Amino acid sequence: MNFLGNLIWLIFGGFYSFIGYMVGGFCLCLTIIGIPFGLQLFKIGILTLWPFGTGVREIPGDTGCLATIMNILWILFGGIWVALGHLLFGLLLAITIIGIPFARQHFKLLALTFTPFGKELYRP
């Protein structure tokens, strides 16, 4: 079932979103200051490529205050707009019964794109 969901996701825009996140990540990795943010875009891109069957969880252990500071910078410099985009698409897809599984994936992406530092992807 996850394969079918991922296939439909890719056909209807998931692949283009993945390419966008990867290009953004490469552009940010061109500067030393942008490397941590570029790595987060790669993580978001991977989740955008295969959202069904992939989960997001907090990294176990103590990440310290650095993750909090980086998340604040992320939100201030554009993360809020990406998260709001996933919120909008999730709400629009939740209107129909067929769109509910895809809306859940957008809400999962919302949680990751709002505060990506200190989170990891896993396969349950």
* pLDDT category of residue 60 using cuts at 50, 70 and 90: confident
Report pTM. 0.90
Nearest to 86 by CA among 67, 102, 69: 102
pLDDT tens digits along 61-120: 777 788 889 999 999 999 999 999 999 999 999 999 999 999 999 999 999 999 999 999
Average pLDDT, the chain: 92
Q: Which residue segment(s) compose the domain that 36 sits in?
A: 2-122
* Rounded Cα–Cα distance for residues 62 and 67 (Å): 10
Residue 43: what pLDDT? 95
DSSP string, 49-88: HS-TT-EEEEPSS---SHHHHHHHHHIIIIIHHHHHHHHH
Q: What's the total number of domains in the chain? A: 1
- Rounded to a whole number of angstroms, the CA Rg of the chain reads 14
pLDDT at 1: 79
Tokens of 73: 């910078």
